[in-house]
């Protein structure tokens, strides 16, 4: 058999061949490839999608002679991203972060974690039982957003935590800041520990020379990639890539993927990963050429609108920003005198333009690798023009209060797992000072967790969160989003 090349889609082809031959489907799912589905679902998805919804362990698809089409698809993904091995994930990069920390938990009990890690990393601490040493990211005092962890900060954290069995960092961030991955790898490897990079926002980086270099190419040991975000697999379809070092065992990653994966992974999600890999490997460079050109023009047009600016390569060199990923269009709204929340609401209500994220100072629009950015950019710019015009007729609503950085986080009195799963009670917020949190609290902006399960609650932190709420901010992670009550560990 000829080995597949990057222009093939072995898994998607095997699914299509199975559906095309109209086999006797005496297996799940109960819709039987379409006939047993509700007509509205058949209408909405079309018959092809339902016919390709084929379960795992189907002969000729992921069972049979090695490599099966499913294995071939994962081998091609590893080759495309330059990994030792790649795993398809059906629960997003969130699953990748769970896998990463469960993998590290095979070698010890402590880990270095960037404080503004995604909530799935916090959840992974609960799942793995690892005890974190948190490292503050660099904060941008003007934009009120968090950037990346620096190599110097990682070095200090590893000095302070001799038992750490690895470190996990985020790069690129939601706002496009890229970390000094080569520097972070050097620091981690000098101590003999692996570096995990949550590259959820960077699956496209491997496919164009003008983009910041991707983490695997710089020596990262395990890279979590949210393939659906920019490269275009279906929502939830993601990957985890193993690097070429020997600090992480392939079999351990494999058992962790299996541990937390459904025994019925969706073939539609897997097929979309196979296709997205081909699209990126074969046409990524050409598509990204177009995308980058369209985005450069869109950035210029946004900057011409009154009160708006954009984040771009000018940010590189700021603390915690080694490089900049232009595939996000982060718009600085401070010059309008209004918040990103207000502008995002107007563009949605007036022009049905829906953004990825809106904050006090910055809004983020996401562009995909294969979309027509010139047309999409023009639509966005037109909506922003309507929005700033409308806002210019209303009184300014932004406070000019200087940004107070969040107070230091509380002492870690218990592991996140013990606090989250142990005996707990709900108490009024004013009675929670001095108690150990059983949940996480992150005030937006800037969205860095103020409290994580296991940390002792301080009056300063609770006041800070309350003030953020009073100023129109929001709270993530808490069971009571208004912070009237809090879930705390039971004193024993």
Ligand X SMILES: Cc1ncc(COP(=O)(O)O)c(C=O)c1O
Which residues are at the interface with ligand X (CB under 6 A)?
92-94, 97, 118, 120, 170, 174, 198, 200, 226, 238
Question: Quick one: 58 or 226, whose CB is closer to ligand X?
Answer: 226
Least distance to ligand X, CB of residue 172, Å: 8
Question: Quick one: 262 or 399, whose CB is closer to ligand X?
Answer: 262
Helix (H) / strand (E) element for 310: namely: strand 309-310
Question: Facing residues of 324 across strands?
Answer: 177
Question: Quick one: 118 or 147, whose CB is closer to ligand X?
Answer: 118
Ramachandran region, residue 447 (left: φ > 0; alpha: ψ -120 to 50; beta: rest): left
Least distance to ligand X, CB of residue 121, Å: 7
Say which residue the tokens 């710089």 belong to.
218
Least distance to ligand X, CB of residue 207, Å: 19
Distance, CA of 216 to CA of 447 (rounded, Å): 27
Q: Cβ distance 318 to 331 under 8 Å?
A: no
User: DSSP alpha helices (H): ranges in 164-248?
Assistant: 181-190, 227-230
Least distance to ligand X, CB of residue 198, Å: 5
For residue 2, give both structure tokens: 């000829």
Phi, psi of 74 (to 5 degrees): -70, -35
Neighbours of 401 (CB within 10 A): 8
Distance, CA of 78 to CA of 340 (rounded, Å): 39
Long-range contacts formed by 94-97: CB under 8 A, 24+ apart: 94/118, 94/120, 94/123, 95/120, 95/238, 95/240, 95/257, 95/260, 95/261, 96/198, 96/200, 96/224, 96/225, 96/226, 96/238, 96/239, 96/240, 97/121, 97/123, 97/124, 97/168, 97/198, 97/224
Question: Quick one: 74 or 97, whose CB is closer to ligand X?
Answer: 97
Least distance to ligand X, CB of residue 202, Å: 9
Question: Quick one: 170 or 343, whose CB is closer to ligand X?
Answer: 170
Question: Quick one: 96 or 294, whose CB is closer to ligand X?
Answer: 96
Question: Quick one: 4 or 236, whose CB is closer to ligand X?
Answer: 236
Least distance to ligand X, CB of residue 418, Å: 24
Least distance to ligand X, CB of residue 476, Å: 12
CA torsion sign, 65 to 66 to 71 to 72? negative
Question: Quick one: 273 or 383, whose CB is closer to ligand X?
Answer: 273
Least distance to ligand X, CB of residue 240, Å: 11
Question: Quick one: 226 or 424, whose CB is closer to ligand X?
Answer: 226
Question: Quick one: 135 or 486, whose CB is closer to ligand X?
Answer: 135
Least distance to ligand X, CB of residue 132, Å: 16
Distance, CA of 37 to CA of 28 (rounded, Å): 12
Distance, CA of 223 to CA of 100 (rounded, Å): 9
CA torsion sign, 312 to 313 to 318 to 321? positive
Least distance to ligand X, CB of residue 225, Å: 9
Q: What angle do CA 316, 224, 360 make, to 5 degrees?
A: 50
Environment class of 178 (CB within 10 Å of its CB; exposed 0-12, middle 13-18, buried 19+): buried
The residue among 81, 117, 188, 67 whose CA lies nearest residue 440 is: 117
Least distance to ligand X, CB of residue 170, Å: 5
Question: Facing residues of 142 across strands?
Answer: none
Distance, CA of 193 to CA of 109 (rounded, Å): 13
Least distance to ligand X, CB of residue 6, Å: 23
| 84 DSSP 8-state letter | S
Measured from each CB, the residue nearest to ligand X is 92
Question: Quick one: 118 or 144, whose CB is closer to ligand X?
Answer: 118
The residue among 214, 294, 240, 302 whose CA lies nearest residue 95 is: 240
Measured CA to CA in angstroms, residue 338 lies from 48, 175, 469 at distances of 47, 19, 18
Q: Cβ distance 205 to 174 under 8 Å?
A: no
Question: Quick one: 18 or 81, whose CB is closer to ligand X?
Answer: 81
């Amino acid at each position: 058999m000829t080995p597949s090349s990057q222009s093939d889609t072995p898994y998607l082809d095997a699914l299509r061949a199975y559906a095309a031959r109209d086999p006797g489907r005496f297996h799940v799912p109960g819709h039987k490839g379409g006939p047993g589905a509700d007509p509205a679902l058949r209408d909405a998805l079309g018959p092809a999608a339902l016919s390709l919804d084929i379960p795992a362990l189907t002969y000729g698809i992921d069972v049979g002679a090695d490599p099966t089409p499913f294995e071939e698809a994962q081998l091609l993904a590893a080759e495309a991203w330059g990994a030792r091995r790649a795993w398809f994930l059906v629960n997003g990069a969130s699953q990748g972060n769970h896998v990463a920390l469960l993998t590290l938990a095979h070698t010890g009990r402590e880990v270095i974690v960037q404080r503004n890690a995604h909530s799935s990393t916090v959840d992974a601490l609960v799942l793995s039982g690892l005890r974190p040493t948190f490292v503050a990211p660099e904060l941008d005092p003007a934009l009120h957003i968090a950037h990346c962890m620096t190599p110097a900060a990682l070095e200090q954290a590893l000095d302070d935590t001799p038992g750490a069995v690895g470190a996990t960092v985020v790069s690129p961030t939601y706002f496009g800041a890229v970390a000094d991955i080569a520097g972070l790898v050097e620091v981690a490897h000098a101590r003999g520990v692996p570096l995990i990079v949550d590259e959820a926002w960077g699956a496209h980086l491997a496919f164009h020379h003008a983009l910041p270099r991707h983490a695997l190419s710089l020596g990262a040991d395990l890279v979590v990639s949210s393939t659906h975000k920019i490269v275009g697999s279906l929502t939830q379809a993601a990957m985890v890539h193993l690097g070429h070092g020997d600090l992480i065992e392939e079999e351990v990653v494999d058992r962790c993927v299996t541990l937390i994966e459904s025994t019925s992974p969706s073939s539609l999600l897997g097929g979309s990963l196979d296709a997205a890999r081909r699209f990126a490997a074969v046409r990524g460079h050409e598509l990204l050429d177009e995308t980058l050109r369209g985005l450069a023009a869109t950035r210029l047009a946004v900057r011409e609108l009154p009160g708006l600016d954009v984040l771009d390569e000018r940010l590189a060199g700021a603390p915690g920003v080694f490089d900049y990923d232009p595939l996000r269009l982060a718009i600085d709204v401070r010059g309008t005198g209004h918040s990103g929340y207000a502008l995002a609401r107007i563009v949605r209500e007036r022009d049905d333009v829906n953004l990825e994220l809106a904050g006090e100072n910055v809004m983020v629009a996401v562009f995909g690798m294969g979309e027509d950015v010139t047309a999409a950019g023009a639509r966005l710019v037109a909506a922003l023009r309507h929005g700033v015009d409308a806002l210019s007729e209303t009184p300014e609503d932004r406070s000019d209060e200087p940004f107070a950085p969040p107070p230091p986080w509380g002492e870690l009195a218990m592991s996140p797992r013990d606090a989250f799963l142990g005996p707990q009670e709900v108490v009024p917020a004013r009675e929670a000072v001095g108690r150990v949190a059983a949940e996480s609290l992150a005030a937006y902006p800037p969205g860095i967790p103020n409290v994580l399960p296991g940390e002792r609650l301080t009056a300063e932190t609770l006041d800070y969160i309350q003030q953020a709420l009073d100023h129109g901010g929001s709270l993530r992670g808490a069971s009571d989003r208004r912070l009237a009550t809090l879930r705390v560990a039971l004193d024993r």
